[in-house]
Amino acid sequence: MYQYYRSFLVLLLIFSALGTAFAQRVPVIGVMAFESGGGATAADASALYGRVVNELTSWGTLSVLQGDQGVEFIIRGSVARQGANLVLSASTVDASNGRVLNQYSEQGRTANDISVPVFCAKAVERVPLPNYLLGTWQSTINMPDGPVVCIIEFRTDRTARVERYDTWEHKQMNSLRYEGYGMGTYTYMGFANRIITVGGQQIRVDAAFSVSLALEETLPDQTTVNQSGLSIVFNENKTSFRIVNGMLLCGRNYDGPSIHPSEILGFNQFVKIR
């Protein structure tokens, strides 16, 4: 009984350590009230401050505070008028040592014309946002002649290892299938939390990514896969995601909807397996 209990504790510690290793740290960022001057009003500064805080908070990849207490990074900004334009200028500072990470600005004729999403993307350019794409993911498309599978690992160095990438073709009632593999690179934009329109429907996405893969042992059309600007939606636990505005192409169907609803086949629903 004691041996069983000790073994159980060892396994529990191992799984806890693994969970910690894959945990995503959420940075804490403080936004100081924006100053106004040079023809800009306090109302302009207050309105832009509120929009910036709301935008950063909506991403879900930052803990956003108003002020500089208990934070890791600080945004300090000011609003001024230059000619016909209103300019919002700011800097992001490392709170631990006061070092300025970057300086940036956005402008428009009025406060409403200033692109707050673009401003916020610049603000966190050098802040280490969590990457919820890290790990190994699997997508499976169930076809009449068996599953078509993709298993891909997204690594911390922005490389991708493709453990399996099935390519498939159905033509004149005959199927071809190859189990490919390969390597590649990817980019992940966790700040790209937006409402986009897909097929006439508005969808709020969690992030965007691009991927470039070089594959072997595939059908000729899929030796390379290059997709950019793919918007994704995660489930609450970040254990699955779907691409809402595209797919990773893997084959074609020439024989009508009885085989597959569309001519183009691609992976767009993924589940985390490791």
pLDDT in tens, 105-153: 999 999 999 999 999 989 998 998 899 999 999 999 998 888 999 999 9
pLDDT at 251 over 80: yes
Model pLDDT, residue 3: 45
Report residue 5's pLDDT band, with 50, 70 and 90 as the boundaries.
Answer: very low
Q: List pLDDT tens digits, range 195-204.
A: 888 888 898 8
Tokens 């691609």 -> residue: 266
DSSP E strand stretches across 83-200: 85-94, 100-108, 135-143, 146-154, 159-171, 174-189, 194-198
pLDDT above 70 covers a percentage of the chain that reads 92
Q: Which residue has the tokens 């919002």?
A: 88
User: What's the predicted TM-score (pTM) here?
Assistant: 0.74
Residue 35's H or E segment, with its range, is strand 35-36
Q: How many CA atoms lie within 13 A of 99 on its CB side?
A: 6
With a cut of 80, say whether residue 8 has pLDDT above it: no
* C-alpha pair distances (Å), 111 with each of 46, 90, 143, 146: 10, 15, 53, 56
Chain mean pLDDT for the chain: 88
Per-residue pLDDT of 156-211, as tens digits, reads: 999 999 999 999 998 887 888 899 999 999 999 887 777 888 888 898 898 999 99
Distance from the Cα of residue 266 to its chain's centroid: 19
- Report pLDDT for 18: 36
Per-residue pLDDT tens digits for 55-75: 999 888 899 999 999 999 999
Residue 11 has pLDDT above 80, yes or no: no
Reply yes or no on whether the pLDDT at 265 is more than 80.
yes
Q: Identify the CA nearest to 248 among candidates 269, 234, 263.
A: 269
Instruction: Compute how many other C-beta atoms are within 10 angstroms of the C-beta atom of residue 60.
Output: 15
Better-scored residue on pLDDT, 15 or 93: 93
pLDDT, position 17: 33
pLDDT of residue 23: 56
Which residues are paired to 189 by β-bridges? 208
From the list 197, 269, 266, the residue with the least C-alpha distance to 232 is 269
User: At what angle are helices 116-123 and 42-58 packed, to 10 degrees?
Assistant: 70
Q: Is 41 exposed, middle or buried (0-12, 13-18, 19+ CB in 10 A)?
A: middle
Percentage of the chain exceeding pLDDT 90:
68
